[in-house]
């Protein structure tokens, strides 16, 4: 069980409140979690990663266990606390912008 | 009695303002999509309860929203009837992918960047949605970086009309201050195969084969900010407008200059006349008088507010040249707002109503063709777009 906390705008868009619970088969990586998130909530496709390039959108950050994972390789394993569901993966809108 | 519905897009959500034909008492609904930029909302002429909205965010990208009940409820089109077992939307509506297929995509590589170097096309947002005049499920989207997309399934999927970028002048297009956006889409009611679009900063373009091929229509424009002021492309056209009863006559508010074409865009002549400044963003045409046009002069390209702190709409009853200032009900001191390019519209009641929104959050309405004005609302977020529906 993977817990993902979305920013408020994306919670509204996906019609969820609070955390999202996902199942990820195989290694728990940023790519695997986002793939699972988008598979369950297709309306989120294009909101966190670019539709075509699958690059993280510039104003979206990903935090795990009090650490910025935004610039880690998408296939790098996430911390065990994320993989076990002890801690949520945080998808955060950057402070920059209006 | 007829009613009017004013669709207002703002920096932080959408609002719907409704009134009866007297246009004196207004019901204000919203914000819809609170916190998101709503670049544009527009209703289908074929089904007025079908509305489309461009919901966008620098953080989270582009969403298309659709309403089938006049704005009472909304959905991302892909998230409509088809849902997964647990009730979640299955589809996606926000995918605007540039055409890179070999037949049409090969010339669509780069455009000119601010500094004159070449830069790849990157999708940013939908500036303008233009529903078909006859089919509620067909809608066009003008986007940044400039391109034109079409949906024939109510906004669920989008395909680029790649002939626009593909005719060869793309490397000469460049961004204006607001980005390189396709912001105006005019459908010719007399010929469904003819469309006009405008791009900042590339100019105006026309198709006569329903979007398959395009050509620039900028003869007569003069722009000092490009190496050849009379170049075929590169002009920062801010807005085009036409009257449906006379679609071969086009009006243009350019970066500087108000222009007119009497031959469906083949040539243009300046009609700025006695305007105190001919910089501005909006231009629109009276619903019943094809030679009555409206602009809101803005001081300059670096001072985006009215001259002398006086918000004045200018009206010409002769198709340009001679202009009169309309001031009754508009602030005549200490006013330093802007009126953005998609933020003026007219209704089609017998006494034509004119509407515009400001970056100060006011939406002004005139129920007497501009003679007098009242603020419907004064304190919305900065207004990006205003559209009006006249309902039976």
Of B58, B78, B92, the CB nearest to A97: B58
Are the beta carbons of B59 and A43 separated by less than 8 Å? no
Chain A contact present for B147, CB below 8 A: no
Contact A42, B78 (CB under 8 A): yes
Q: Where does B267-353 have alpha helices with state H? A: none
Question: pLDDT, tens digit, for every residue of B314-354?
Answer: 999 999 999 999 999 999 999 999 999 999 999 999 999 99
pLDDT tens per residue, range A49-62: 998 888 999 889 99
Q: Is it the case that residue B181 has pLDDT exceeding 70?
A: yes
CA B363 – CA B278 distance, rounded (Å) = 22
Regarding predicted confidence, which is higher, B182 or B78? B182
Count of positions (residues) in chain A: 98
* CA-atom Rg of chain A in angstroms: 12
Q: What percent of chain B has pLDDT over 90?
A: 84
Q: Does residue B87 carry a pLDDT above 50?
A: no
Tell me which of A42 and B333 has the higher pLDDT.
Answer: B333
Q: Do A93 and B91 touch (CB under 8 A)?
A: no
* B85 in contact with A, Cβ within 8 Å: no
Q: Does B56 touch chain A (CB under 8 A)?
A: no
Distance (Å, whole) CA B143 – CA B96? 9
Other CB atoms within 10 Å distance of the CB of residue B69: 10
Average pLDDT, chain B: 93
| Yes or no, beta carbons of B78 and A93 under 8 Å apart | no
Smallest Cβ–Cβ distance between A46 and the set B58, B61, B91 belongs to B61
Cα B126–B127–B128 angle (5° rounding)? 100
Rounded to an integer, the average pLDDT of B20-26 is 96
Query: Residue B368: its pLDDT value, please?
Result: 97
Contact B258, B275 (CB under 8 A): yes
Phi, then psi, of B307 in degrees rounded to 5: -60, 135
The proportion of chain A whose per-residue pLDDT surpasses 90, expressed as a percent, equals 76
Is residue B152 very low, low, confident or very high in pLDDT (cuts 50, 70, 90)?
very high
| Of residues A52, A63, A75, the one with CA closest to residue B105 | A52
The residues that bridge with B317 in the sheet, in sequence order, are: none
Question: Rounded CA gap, B305 and A57, in Å?
Answer: 33
Q: Taking Cα atoms as reference points, which of B251, B225, B249 lies closest to residue B238?
A: B251
Of A14, A40, A94, the CB nearest to B59: A94
> Among A13-27, A82-96, B65-79, B80-94, which stretch is predicted with the lowest mean pLDDT?
B80-94
Maximum pairwise Cα distance, chain A: 38
Closest Cα in chain A, distance from residue B89 (Å) = 7
Q: Give CA angle at B187 (B183, B189), nearest 5°.
A: 155
**pLDDT of B83 higher than 90:** no
pLDDT band, very low/low/confident/very high, at B10 (cuts 50, 70, 90)? very high
Residues in chain B with CB shorter than 8 Å from the CB of A47 are: 60-61, 63, 94
* B52 alpha-carbon distance from chain centroid: 13
Measured at the CA of B185, the angle between CA B181 and CA B190, to 5 degrees, comes to 165
- For residue B14, how many other CB atoms are within 10 A of its CB? 30
B353: tokens are 């109503």
Q: By the CB < 8 Å criterion, does B88 face chain A? A: yes
B253 alpha-carbon distance from chain centroid: 12
B63 with A13: Cβ contact below 8 A:
yes
Q: Which of A82-96, B89-103, B378-392 shows the lowest per-residue confidence on average (mean pLDDT)?
A: B89-103
Q: Output the CA–CA distances (angstroms, integers) from residue B345 to B7, B127, B207, B315, B348, in the order listed.
A: 10, 16, 24, 14, 10
Give burial (CB, 10 Å; 0-12/13-18/19+) of A62. buried
**pLDDT class for B81, splitting at 50, 70, 90?**
very low
pLDDT value at position B109?
78
Residue B79 has pLDDT above 60, yes or no: no
Q: Is B78 an 8 Å CB contact of chain A?
A: yes
Residue A98: per-residue pLDDT: 44
DSSP symbols for B250-285: EEEEESB-EEEESSTTS--EE--TT-S--EEEEEEE
Checking if the pLDDT of B300 tops 50, the result is yes
User: Which tokens hold the place of B77?
Assistant: 């089109």
Question: Residue A96: pLDDT above 80?
Answer: no
């Amino acid at each position: 069980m993977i817990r993902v906390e979305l920013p408020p705008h994306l919670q509204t868009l996906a019609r969820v409140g609070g955390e999202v619970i996902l199942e990820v088969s195989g290694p728990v990586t940023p790519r695997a979690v986002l793939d699972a998130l988008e598979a369950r909530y297709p309306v989120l496709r294009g909101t966190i990663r670019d539709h075509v390039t699958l690059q993280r959108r510039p104003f979206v950050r990903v935090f795990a266990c009090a650490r910025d994972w935004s610039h880690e390789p998408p296939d790098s394993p996430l911390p065990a606390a994320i993989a076990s569901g002890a801690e949520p993966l945080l998808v955060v809108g950057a402070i920059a912008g209006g | 009695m007829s009613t009017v519905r004013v669709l207002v897009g703002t920096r932080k959500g959408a609002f719907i303002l409704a009134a009866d034909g007297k246009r004196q008492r207004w019901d204000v609904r919203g914000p819809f999509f609170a916190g998101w930029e709503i670049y544009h909302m527009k209703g289908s002429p074929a089904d007025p309860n079908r509305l489309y909205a461009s919901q966008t965010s620098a953080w989270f990208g582009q969403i298309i929203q659709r309403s089938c009940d006049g704005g009472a409820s909304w959905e991302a089109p892909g998230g409509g009837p088809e849902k997964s077992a647990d009730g979640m939307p299955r589809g996606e509506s926000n995918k605007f992918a540039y055409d890179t297929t070999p037949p049409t995509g090969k010339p669509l590589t780069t455009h000119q960047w601010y500094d004159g170097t070449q830069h790849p096309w990157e999708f940013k947002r939908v500036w303008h949605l233009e529903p078909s005049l006859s089919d509620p499920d067909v809608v066009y989207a003008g986007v940044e970086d400039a391109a034109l997309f079409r949906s024939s399934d109510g906004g669920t999927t989008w395909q680029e009309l790649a002939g626009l970028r593909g005719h060869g002048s793309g490397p000469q297009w460049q961004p204006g201050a607001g980005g390189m956006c396709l912001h105006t889409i005019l459908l010719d009611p007399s010929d469904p195969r003819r469309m006009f679009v405008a791009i900042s900063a590339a100019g105006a373009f026309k198709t006569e084969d329903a979007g398959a091929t395009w050509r620039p229509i900028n003869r007569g424009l003069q722009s000092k900010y490009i190496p050849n002021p009379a170049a075929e492309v590169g002009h920062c056209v801010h807005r085009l407008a036409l009257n449906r009863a006379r679609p071969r006559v086009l009006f243009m508010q350019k970066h500087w200059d108000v222009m007119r074409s009497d031959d469906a865009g083949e040539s243009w002549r300046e009609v700025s006349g006695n305007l105190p400044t001919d910089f501005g963003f909006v231009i629109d045409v009276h619903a019943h008088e094809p030679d009555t046009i409206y602009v809101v002069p803005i001081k300059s390209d670096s001072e985006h507010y009215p001259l002398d702190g006086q918000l004045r709409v200018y009206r010409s009853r002769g198709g340009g040249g001679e202009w009169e200032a309309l001031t009754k009900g508009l602030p005549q001191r200490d006013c330093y707002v802007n009126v953005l390019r998609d933020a003026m519209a007219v209704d089609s009641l017998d006494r034509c109503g004119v509407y515009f929104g400001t970056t100060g959050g006011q939406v002004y309405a005139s129920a007497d063709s501009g003679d007098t004005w009242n603020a419907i609302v004064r304190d919305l977020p900065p207004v990006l777009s205003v559209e009006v529906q006249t309902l039976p």
